Chains A and B, each alone.
Chain A
Amino acid sequence: MKRNKLSVLLSALGLCAVAASTASASSHREAPSIANDPAADNTDVYAWVTPGTHDKLYLIANWIPLEEPAGGPNFHQFDENVRYELHLARGGKSLDDAVAYYVYFETKKPKRVADDDIAFNEELFNGIQFFAQIATPPPQQTYKVVKVENGKEKVIARDVPVAPVNIGPRTDAVVYGATYDDAFASTFIRELQGGGRVFAGPRDDAFYVDLGGAFDLANITSGRERPTDGVAGFNTHTIALEIPTKELTGTGKAPTEGPSDEQTLGVWAASSRRAVTVLRQGEPIVFGPWVQVSRLGLPLINEVMIGLQDKDKYNRTQPRDDLDNFAPYFLHPVIVRNADAVGIYDELGVDDATVDFLKHGPDRNGRFDIIDAINIKDFPEAGAHAIETIGDVLRVDLGIDSAFPNGRPLIDGERPNQEQADVTDVLLTLLLAANTRPITDNVNGNDKDLLDEFPYLALPWQGFDEGHGVPAP
């Protein structure tokens, strides 16, 4: 009787609740308004071969921009609903994948404590905790790496632990049982089947740029008093791969010494989420295909070359279609028109004919000097490459030492806090001045030294005393 009464009441209440939701559905409120997707947002791609020996390729890609080190209790992590991808095209005639690496993450779910045990349960690592780092035992995330070649997928690493977040000394002592230093972080490096190594986890974002100046309509040339590294003190999430180059030449052999189109890779990173079927017809299948939601090859192409109206399109399309989709952006860079509009060329005393050349190239046919540069035509010497495809990929010739834009090494910088080239300055100089005069944002180094060994990016900033907060007054 009681049970009947309860179920009647519940269904009545259930109906009321449904009615209430439907009532709110008759307003505009059911649709979230606007959002982007940081967990799937690529920030940088680095790639280079071991100098001299060229026996290994280093592929390092970052996701999740501007992570605040103290951003708890739900600290940043990889998203288990995102497929993280590294794509490698090969040769001068195709931008299709020769090899791709897909990385899938899993996140541990906290163990549920029974309702009648919540009040007096003294254990750590269960669902009653609100500190995420003690809700599940470490590692909180694991991943597998899948290599895709000739349409075949092969798991080359599985159940690999993700390096944890660098929270602070008490977490170190209680949860990790170690100080969060380079030795500790290196325990999360694992071997890949078939050779090479992998690391995934939070690291310092090694990019350095005057974000504030650049995004104030390229306000970097007017003697800015305090050029500011807008990325300083922020972390990012890194996937780092070390791959034997013989796996990537297509011949199974080590690369041949010297430049060649055939053994030049086109590297880009991407991330995909799964489409779902809105209404299912009773089938249990929830998921549809993976849909790419973000990608990145060369630094700053998406940021300063592709217009806002086309960024979604850029993010869901592939480099092989860039020429069809985005040729005007590559050949007639909008940033030059912006620079002209805000008076940068007046300030620098550049004449109108030159400005027109910078906007549209010779005879207004387009800036093919940009294409030549990103296709490493004259690297390491004039006419060394004759790559025919055009797309936002980072070219890396496996047969010669890497130097941006042939690869983007995190090693061999002039100073320990510099990557091999100041890519912001190189690209601004190319885009804004066609290499006729140096353009710089005056931010010339990272706020941490890079490592001289895998995974090369510095330790992540610690939440406890390295966040962006200021000491209380």
Chain B
Amino acid sequence: MRASFIVIVFMAAACGLACGERRSKREQPRAIAAGDCLAALDDAALKEAQRKTQTAAPRERAAAWVSAGHAFVRIARTRTQPELYAHVQACAGRALEAAPADTDALHLQGIVMMDAHRFGEARELAERLIALDADDVAAWGLLSDASLELGNTADAVRAAQRMLDLKPSLLSYGRAAHLRFIGGDVQGALELYSLAINAGRHLKDREPSAWMMVEAAQLFLARGDVIGAEAGFDAALREVPGYAPALAGKRRAAAVRAGNAQAKL
């Protein structure tokens, strides 16, 4: 499946990007190949989104590509298939071709930049979006993420605080929790993970909640609470069966448990 997927990615036609950055050919966004890849992924929402990219009226086309892009992000995260971000990049590119200033398309582009570790560009994009709309919740999230990766924790905190003040949600609680952890406030981080998990309770897409559970479980593990950590990883696995970050967490917890047993001898 992986091999055929790569073939499909390379078969797909290259398309230009509205912001006109120079990149190697391999990095250029590629159009989604319709048939095999979608069949292999077997995801109804993605198929529907892809269908809409073909049938949408011109003015709706950017939105359709953005939906398809988010479907790929969801699948990439849920099934831990980071290679699918090539498709996300393609979708963002097509959306921006259709509507170069489309905010939703630019938000998607921001996700692509973060995945590709183009943190400086992501920060610039976020700042550009915020200059246009100081209340752009997703842009503040992007600015927080990019600032953190660039080592500017103070900016990351400021941006996350702004995001929270605009919209308390799983997304903003989750970012704040991580920043508390980075600042050494593990108990405070766990409180916010709990708020994030609760805020995600009714989401149809279970991955964001599962990810918060994994993050919280990792903190339990860091504190030496193996039982708490395992419960957290198991909870994440109930939300997303086979969820790789949770499985990896369970292995780490098992290693700690084994180490504890050794230590007792």
Task: Give the distance in Å from the alpha carbon of A321 to the alpha carbon of B223 in the complex.
Answer: 48
CB atoms of B215 and A274 under 8 A apart: no
| Interface flag for A10 (CB, 8 Å) | yes
Name A residues whose Cβ lies closer than 8 Å to a Cβ of B. 2, 5-6, 9-11, 13-14, 17-18, 20-22, 25-40, 64, 74, 76, 79-81, 115, 217, 273-280, 286, 288, 291, 293, 308-309, 312-313, 315-316, 341-342
Checking B73, B135, B169, B207 against A293 with a beta-carbon cut-off of 8 angstroms, the contacting residue is B169
Please judge, given known A-B contacts A80-B198, A273-B169, whether A34 and B73 are in contact too, CB under 8 Å: yes
Checking A33, A74, A278 against B180 with a beta-carbon cut-off of 8 angstroms, the contacting residue is A278
B185 to chain A, nearest CB (A): 7
CB atoms of A312 and B168 under 8 A apart: no
Chain B 167-204: CB-based contact to A (< 8 A → 1; otherwise 0): 11111011110111111010010011001101111111
Task: Give the distance in Å from the alpha carbon of A291 to the alpha carbon of B165 in the complex.
Answer: 7
B115 to chain A, nearest CB (A): 5
CB atoms of B208 and A33 under 8 A apart: yes
Per DSSP, are chain A's interface residues mostly helix, strand or loop, or mixed?
mixed
| Interface flag for B137 (CB, 8 Å) | yes
Residue of A nearest to B194 (CB): A81
Q: Which residues of A contact B176 (CB under 8 A)?
A: 276, 278
CB atoms of B171 and A28 under 8 A apart: no
Chain B 5-40: CB-based contact to A (< 8 A → 1; otherwise 0): 000000000000000000000000000000000000
Chain B 62-78: CB-based contact to A (< 8 A → 1; otherwise 0): 01000000100110010
Checking A6, A25, A34, A279 against B183 with a beta-carbon cut-off of 8 angstroms, the contacting residue is A279
Q: Which residues of A contact B227 (CB under 8 A)?
A: 115
Name B residues whose Cβ lies closer than 8 Å to a Cβ of A. 57, 59-60, 63, 70, 73-74, 77, 103-104, 111, 114-115, 117, 135, 137, 141, 144-145, 148-149, 157, 160-161, 164-171, 173-176, 178-183, 185, 188, 191-192, 195-196, 198-205, 207-208, 211-212, 215, 218-219, 221-224, 227, 245, 252, 256, 259-260, 263-264
CB atoms of B137 and A312 under 8 A apart: yes
Q: Which residues of B contact A291 (CB under 8 A)?
A: 164-168
CB atoms of B212 and A280 under 8 A apart: no
Top 3 closest pairs, chain A to chain B, by CB: A273-B168, A38-B202, A28-B114
Q: Which residues of A contact B180 (CB under 8 A)?
A: 278-280
The winner among A6, A18, A35, A288 for most chain B CB atoms within 10 A is A35
CB atoms of B166 and A316 under 8 A apart: yes
The winner among A76, A279, A291 for most chain B CB atoms within 10 A is A279
Q: Which residues of A contact B198 (CB under 8 A)?
A: 79-81
Residue of B nearest to A12 (CB): B259
Checking B149, B181, B191, B208 against A28 with a beta-carbon cut-off of 8 angstroms, the contacting residue is B149
CB atoms of A35 and B222 under 8 A apart: no
CB atoms of B170 and A276 under 8 A apart: no
CB atoms of B165 and A25 under 8 A apart: no
CB atoms of B164 and A26 under 8 A apart: no
Checking A38, A40, A81, A277 against B161 with a beta-carbon cut-off of 8 angstroms, the contacting residue is A277
Task: Give the distance in Å from the alpha carbon of A308 to the alpha carbon of B207 in the complex.
Answer: 23
A246 to chain B, nearest CB (A): 37
CB atoms of A278 and B135 under 8 A apart: no
Task: Give the distance in Å from the alpha carbon of A74 to the alpha carbon of B221 in the complex.
Answer: 25
A-B contact pairs, 27 of them (CB 8 A): A13-B224, A13-B259, A14-B221, A17-B222, A21-B181, A28-B115, A30-B145, A30-B215, A31-B175, A32-B196, A32-B200, A33-B70, A33-B74, A35-B170, A35-B203, A35-B205, A38-B202, A39-B199, A39-B201, A217-B57, A274-B195, A275-B168, A279-B157, A279-B183, A280-B188, A291-B165, A293-B169
Task: Give the distance in Å from the alpha carbon of A39 to the alpha carbon of B186 in the complex.
Answer: 27
Checking B115, B171, B195, B256 against A13 with a beta-carbon cut-off of 8 angstroms, the contacting residue is B256
Task: Give the distance in Å from the alpha carbon of A334 to the alpha carbon of B67 in the complex.
Answer: 20
CB atoms of B161 and A33 under 8 A apart: no
Checking B115, B161, B170, B264 against A278 with a beta-carbon cut-off of 8 angstroms, the contacting residue is B161
The winner among B144, B160, B168 for most chain A CB atoms within 10 A is B168
Checking B73, B104, B148, B164 against A33 with a beta-carbon cut-off of 8 angstroms, the contacting residue is B73
Checking B104, B135, B145, B202 against A39 with a beta-carbon cut-off of 8 angstroms, the contacting residue is B202
CB atoms of B103 and A313 under 8 A apart: no
Q: Which residues of A contact B215 (CB under 8 A)?
A: 21, 30
CB atoms of A276 and B164 under 8 A apart: yes
Please judge, given known A-B contacts A6-B264, A10-B260, A34-B73, whether A278 and B103 are in contact too, CB under 8 Å: no
Task: Give the distance in Å from the alpha carbon of A238 to the alpha carbon of B226 in the complex.
Answer: 40
Q: Which residues of A contact B219 (CB under 8 A)?
A: 21
Residue of B nearest to A7 (CB): B224
